[in-house]
Chain A
């Protein structure tokens, strides 16, 4: 470009020109080898070249550990390195599955695993249901033309930014015997409540805190979905005098369905993986009332004097299979919708 041309450019354009040259230089550097690769392998195979870095990381940090974990699940003993461990075949799986009745954890050899499974099922059912319900309600409200809408959107999203440990500690201080909630209840003459000693209350607070902490994220997804619905549909419905409930069930819900599906599946997967918040909040207690499957794996693999990596790995393979099935369900549901 001639120097005289620059004088006719705006300040922003000149700034762009200055900062663009290193980027252009970088592109040129890549262009030479990439052109060579393209000539060598042909254009149809080029996407693989672009996917290669991501695939390499995914393979190294996800797929390889997955196989290593599976290999551990086929071994026994307390040695750390795989090559030093004893091959036991499917013994760890047999130990996990050895039950008099699958409906009564106390009849199982590894009763804690089954208690963790049942606790996880209860937790997932209620947590996901409430998560989707409250996220939807909140998104619908925040989509209205209410006062301080921006402020409320930030407020609901704020807990998502906090570390799960911080969230759990804050709520623990609120709920302890001498915590804020009991101090508040005392004003009304209500006796102090020991929330973490009662299994039902512990499960309730585990679900409540988890929903409170993560709802903002799902609300945001649903809010984006609501804002993508064309307003003229609502205007047409209003002109026809359609009732609000009918508008919700005939327009909003069907058009929001893809987002709801994403929220449902993400919430489900995150819920099955629950660990840190509940571990800090209730410690898995009272007894084993809020001990979930990931905590069982952690306890089995790390907190005992004899660290049973084989059994922990077998339990994590079972968890992996469950998550895989959930993902397949998501894919199937998405395809059915697309089809």
Chain B
């Protein structure tokens, strides 16, 4: 072996050793994530920046289906095998697994000032700082304005009720032979806002869950009737069992639906898929005798107790929650900001689409009008128990398996049974 070759070999081995040493020194964080639109790409961009500034920390974004967030993640967490961070929507339901970041972040005051109201959703006691909202969402309807114009039917105006919108949508669909006049996501969360508008209280005087009351019956009776008279298609609420979620976003994007009750998270998708094919328009939440409210909600990025690197997680959360980074995130994803400073100052949304801008303004403008009951319900730890009982039993009534009165009895029994099971220690 020549000297030169020998030197090269020694250098190569040394370099390999150095790389291995670096690899060993590197801390890897895993973030479980799901996508509604392009937020995964935007988050990856921010993570790349973070890694460039912190070469000793590597963050892996594990993108999973939303169903895995709802069903697999809780089992993983219960088994103590979760990731370091996760994007979740069952904000209060998983709170027992969240890590309190207070000792690991640089400025707890900044977090409380800017995320204060939402921290309570993540911690029923309102003490811990566990994460921030990657998006604030508000439920509400979208309409296909072009269809209204073609049918020469006036869109109901300010203060219109659900009955007004149902009648107008049916008139448009009948005139233009559109298969689905009105579609609501098969989700209890979507029904809750309109039910509260009709007077549903959701809780009794002691703050205990009380799903079924006259307000809820008013709304569910309407939903039932609309399915029977063809205003709503049974394909969503009637075609699957239990608490399965079904959305009509594809049908709306294909101009098969006149009015679609969903929420602000659809904006990026509609801007991308529909573009200027037709005028899709977000409208304010229709009114009832008690309110004109949608439901707040959203997704949060939370730190989890399963992490073995809380300091690094704190560092990452400090970076991601910084105002300039969140402004970039909300701006590119077209999400309503869950950061009070940005909400007050406004976000420069990366879109020229007038429909998307109008929708963002409509949903952001709806936030002050959201009923306090809706906020309480969103913050309630067992809200999914209530939502699931509502959709599964209402679905059975809609297809005629049980009567509405039987459905109400079953809803109450389901909620009581699940909560009792959870509280049994």
By a beta-carbon cutoff of 8 Å, the part of chain A in contact with chain B is: 76-81, 86, 88, 106, 109, 111-112, 115, 177, 194, 196-197, 199, 282-291, 295, 299, 302-308, 310-311
Contact = CB atoms under 8 A, between A and B. Distances in A.
B388 A304 contact: yes
Interface in B386-425: 388, 395-396, 398-402, 406, 410, 413, 418-419, 421-422, 424-425
Max chain B CB contacts within 10 Å: which of A81, A112, A290? A112
A77 B71 CA distance: 17
Contacts of B75: 80, 302, 307
B410 A177 contact: no
Contact of B239 (A86, A106, A286, A288): A286
A22 to B, nearest CB: 35
Contacts of A77: 421-422, 424-425
Interface stretch (B216-224, B241-249, B300-308, B371-379): B241-249
Nearest to A77: B424
Contacts of B399: 197, 199, 285-287, 289
B418 A284 contact: no
Contacts of B406: 106
Contacts of B40: none
Given A106-B406, A288-B241, 12 more contacts: A111-B410, A177-B179, A194-B234, A285-B238, A285-B395, A286-B238, A287-B395, A287-B399, A289-B399, A289-B401, A304-B418, A305-B382
A194 B239 CA distance: 9
Nearest to A79: B78
**Sorted from nearest, which 10 A-B pairs have the closest CB atoms?**
A283-B240, A284-B241, A80-B78, A305-B384, A287-B399, A285-B240, A287-B401, A306-B418, A286-B399, A306-B422
Nearest to B382: A305
B419 A306 contact: yes
Contacts of A196: 235, 239
A114 B48 CA distance: 53
Contacts of A79: 78
B93 interface: yes
B238 A287 contact: yes
Nearest to B241: A284
B242 A303 contact: yes
Contacts, number: 112
Contacts of A307: 74-75
B385 interface: yes
Contacts of B179: 177
A194 B424 contact: no
B84 interface: no
30 contacts: A76-B424, A78-B421, A78-B422, A80-B75, A112-B242, A115-B401, A177-B235, A196-B239, A197-B238, A197-B239, A197-B399, A282-B239, A282-B240, A283-B239, A285-B238, A285-B240, A285-B241, A285-B395, A286-B238, A286-B241, A287-B241, A291-B242, A299-B242, A303-B244, A304-B388, A304-B418, A305-B90, A305-B384, A305-B385, A306-B422
Interface residues of B, number: 39
A305 B238 CA distance: 22
Interface of B: 70-71, 74-75, 78-79, 90, 93, 179, 233-235, 238-244, 382, 384-385, 388, 395-396, 398-402, 406, 410, 413, 418-419, 421-422, 424-425
A54 B40 CA distance: 46
B421 A308 contact: yes
Contact of B79 (A80, A88, A194, A289): A80
B386 to A, nearest CB: 9
Contacts of B93: 305
Contacts of A308: 418, 421
A303 B71 contact: yes
Contacts of A81: 78-79
A287 B242 CA distance: 7
Contact of A291 (B70, B90, B239, B241): B241
A76 B422 CA distance: 9
A295 B233 CA distance: 25
A247 B187 CA distance: 60
A283 B410 CA distance: 21
B345 to A, nearest CB: 36
A194 B235 contact: yes
Given A197-B234, A305-B93, A305-B388, A285 B422 contact: no
Contacts of B425: 77, 86
A287 B396 contact: yes
A307 B73 CA distance: 12
A111 B406 CA distance: 12
A109 to B, nearest CB: 8
A197 B421 contact: no
A2 B41 CA distance: 70
Contacts of A285: 238-241, 395, 399
A303 B75 CA distance: 11
Contacts of A106: 402, 406
A297 to B, nearest CB: 12
A286 B421 CA distance: 28
A194 B75 CA distance: 36
A79 B241 CA distance: 26
Contacts of A86: 424-425
A171 B13 CA distance: 57
Contacts of B233: 194
A291 B244 CA distance: 12
Nearest to A302: B71
A283 B243 CA distance: 10
B384 to A, nearest CB: 4
A312 to B, nearest CB: 11
A306 B242 contact: no
A197 B235 contact: yes
